[in-house]
């Protein structure tokens, strides 16, 4: 999403400590993430130390480690907290949150805090009021994709034998994280590479005794409807917040994987097809295979990509779980919209914007999230016409952390970590937010007059809390992100009894 530069909060961490604290927090993060499966972490979210009286100033699970823990081979990875951890007192909690959840200038904040285990509402400031959620909309799409596709699903990009001799068809299957070079099995962006696809294609053609020149066709017909949502601002598209959607692309429709801002290719599928043609030409040259210049799309009604077409080569994407992690951590609009369309296909809806919206809403209903007041114009949050309440977002986070569908647990690691990763990596750096650094995990959302923060945190008593805070009508450039970060930090440090 678009970000606005805001004034930093007061009380900066002293210079000598600014280098030390991030390293210590990174050690804490490594410790916390050194778990073979996120599901193994989840039982620890529902408890605490179970002791009455005043909580210790810094409970053991929030202390910075001095050494890395060695694995015990059990697969547990994290010591479970007691299920007797006290739930914060709503009145005490509200007093603290109301002191920090204040706008800088115009607009207002709504917010909800719930106990993850029981769903008890601990804080409610107009929590059912529908508001523009910005990129917090991605939480809804992430949950729907994991519930529908499953975290282990992969998308295939294939090369098929065309109907005419010497013709090959590059068929997009939903992977927009393709790399131009060789496949990188351990990567998410670039797990499937066009150079590897080209090499496989050459081997298959050699076995067939094929000779050049080869003609390359592109089949990007998997998606339907307009490639650009009319609810998106053309200024945002021009700035690179979004691009026309296709079922295959390089680098999530970026010219350079290392540059995630600025204009995007306007025909990402053709750009990928032209890159494949270049790789096929290079791979085929030693075998005497040449490639005719130019790439054309498969003509409408052609049988080149019929279901019985022979597959010459295939590369597969990173898993849906890994892609959800990426889209949450980096707030990738393009990848999120593609994930919505792939979710729509899986529930027999058109792979269009309308189909994606309908599929996400259907899955929210299945999760018992009340969608009566929810309005969705897209599934990434770029559209200002979206309307979602803090309560609805909090319930989605609760479904991810504690709900009965354990497939949603795959999203947990994708939430940015305060002061360390993703869109929260450069926040929580001053005294007013420091107690949330390394502890708050939340999805950010930013438009010109909108900010939002929804996520989860284990408080000082060891209780897992889920929350959502949304600001609308805000003064652009004001210090409202800091207000949200201070508020989430209150939850991290809360022994609110």
What does DSSP say about strands 450-458 and 464-472: parallel, antiparallel, or unpaired?
antiparallel
> In whole angstroms, what is the distance from residue 55 CA to residue 400 CA?
28
Q: Is 39 helix (H, G, I), strand (E, B) or coil?
A: helix
Evaluate if residue 25 carries a pLDDT over 80. no
* 138 carries an active-site annotation: yes
Evaluate if residue 183 carries a pLDDT over 70. yes
User: For the whole model, what pTM was predicted?
Assistant: 0.86
User: Picking from 40-44, 78-82, 365-369, which range would have the lowest pLDDT averaged per residue?
Assistant: 40-44
**Catalytic residue chosen out of the listed positions 271, 331, 352, 380:** 331
Structural contact between residues 249 and 325, judged by C-beta atoms closer than 8 angstroms = no
Q: Which pLDDT score, from 0 to 100, does residue 299 have?
A: 86
Work out whether the CA dihedral 437, 146, 319, 220 comes out positive or negative: negative
Beta bridge partners of 453: 444, 469
**Catalytic residue chosen out of the listed positions 2, 135, 183, 380:** 135
CA angle 282, 287, 288 (to 5 degrees): 85
Work out whether the CA dihedral 307, 313, 316, 317 comes out positive or negative: negative
Per-residue pLDDT band for 4 (boundaries 50, 70, 90) equals very low
Q: Which residues contact 428 (CB under 8 A, 6 or more apart)?
A: 418, 419, 434, 436, 437, 440, 485, 489
Per-residue pLDDT band for 40 (boundaries 50, 70, 90) equals very low
* 2 carries an active-site annotation: no
Beta bridge partners of 219: 171
What strands, in cross-sheet order, belong to the sheet with 441-447?
121-125, 108-115, 464-472, 450-458, 441-447
**Catalytic residue chosen out of the listed positions 138, 363, 443, 481:** 138
Question: For 452-484, what is each residue's pLDDT tens digit?
Answer: 999 999 999 999 999 999 999 999 989 999 999
Q: What is the DSSP-derived secondary structure letter of residue 131?
A: B
Structural contact between residues 120 and 340, judged by C-beta atoms closer than 8 angstroms = no
Element (H, E) at 459: none
End-to-end CA distance of the chain: 37
Per-residue pLDDT band for 496 (boundaries 50, 70, 90) equals confident
Question: For 277-320, what is each residue's pLDDT tens digit?
Answer: 999 999 999 999 999 999 999 987 454 455 678 999 999 999 99
> In whole angstroms, what is the distance from residue 451 CA to residue 105 CA?
13
> In whole angstroms, what is the distance from residue 92 CA to residue 8 CA?
28
Q: Which pLDDT score, from 0 to 100, does residue 68 have?
A: 53
Which DSSP string do the residues of 190-239 spell out, in sequence order?
TSSBHHHHHHHHHHHHHHHT--S-EEEEEE-TTS-S-SS-TTS-HHHHHH
Average pLDDT over residues 31-55: 38
User: 433 vs 56, 69, 270, 451, 491, CA distance in Å?
Assistant: 19, 27, 46, 17, 11
Mean pLDDT of the chain: 87
């Amino acid at each position: 999403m678009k970000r606005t530069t805001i004034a930093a909060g007061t009380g900066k961490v002293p210079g000598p400590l600014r280098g030390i604290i991030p390293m210590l927090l990174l050690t804490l993060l490594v410790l916390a993430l050194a778990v073979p499966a996120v599901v193994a972490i989840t039982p620890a979210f529902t408890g605490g130390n179970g002791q009455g009286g005043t909580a210790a100033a810094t409970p053991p699970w929030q202390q910075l480690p001095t050494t890395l823990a060695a694995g015990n081979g059990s697969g547990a990875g994290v010591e479970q907290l007691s299920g007797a951890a006290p739930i914060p007192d709503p009145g005490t909690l509200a007093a603290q949150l109301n002191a920090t959840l204040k706008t800088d200038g115009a607009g207002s904040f709504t917010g909800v805090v719930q106990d993850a285990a029981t769903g008890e509402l601990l804080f409610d400031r107009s929590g059912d009021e529908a508001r523009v959620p910005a990129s917090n909309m991605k939480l809804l799409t992430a949950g729907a994709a994991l519930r529908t596709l499953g975290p282990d699903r992969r998308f295939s990009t294939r090369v098929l034998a065309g109907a005419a001799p010497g013709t090959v068809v590059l068929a997009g299957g939903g992977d927009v994280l393709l790399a131009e070079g060789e496949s990188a099995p351990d990567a998410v962006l670039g797990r499937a590479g066009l150079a590897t696809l080209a090499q496989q294609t050459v081997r298959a053609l050699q076995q067939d005794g094929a000779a050049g020149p080869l003609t390359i066709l592109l089949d990007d017909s998997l998606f339907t409807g307009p490639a650009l949502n009319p609810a998106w601002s053309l200024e945002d598209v021009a700035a690179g917040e979004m691009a026309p959607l296709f079922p295959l692309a390089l680098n999530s429709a970026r010219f350079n994987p290392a540059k995630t801002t600025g204009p995007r290719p306007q025909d990402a599928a053709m750009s990928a097809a032209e890159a494949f043609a270049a790789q096929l030409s290079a791979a085929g040259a030693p075998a005497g295979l040449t490639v005719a210049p130019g790439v054309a799309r498969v003509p409408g009604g052609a049988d080149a990509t019929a279901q019985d077409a022979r597959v010459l080569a295939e590369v597969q994407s990173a898993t849906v779980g890994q892609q959800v992690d990426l889209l949450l951590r980096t707030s990738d609009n393009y990848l999120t919209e593609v994930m919505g369309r792939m979710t729509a296909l899986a529930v027999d809806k058109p792979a269009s914007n309308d189909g994606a919206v309908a599929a996400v809403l259907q899955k929210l209903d299945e999760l018992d999230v009340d969608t009566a007041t929810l309005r969705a114009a897209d599934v990434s949050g770029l559209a200002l016409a979206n309307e979602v309440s803090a309560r609805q977002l909090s319930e989605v986070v609760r479904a991810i952390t504690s709900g009965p569908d354990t497939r949603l647990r795959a999203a947990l690691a994708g939430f940015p970590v305060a002061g360390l990763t993703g869109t929260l990596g450069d926040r929580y750096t001053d005294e007013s937010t420091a107690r949330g650094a390394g502890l708050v995990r939340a999805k950010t959302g930013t438009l010109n007059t909108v900010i939002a923060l929804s996520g989860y945190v284990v408080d000082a008593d060891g209780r897992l809390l889920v929350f959502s805070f949304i600001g609308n009508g805000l003064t652009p450039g004001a210090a409202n992100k800091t207000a949200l970060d201070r508020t989430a930090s209150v939850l991290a440090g809360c022994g609110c009894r």
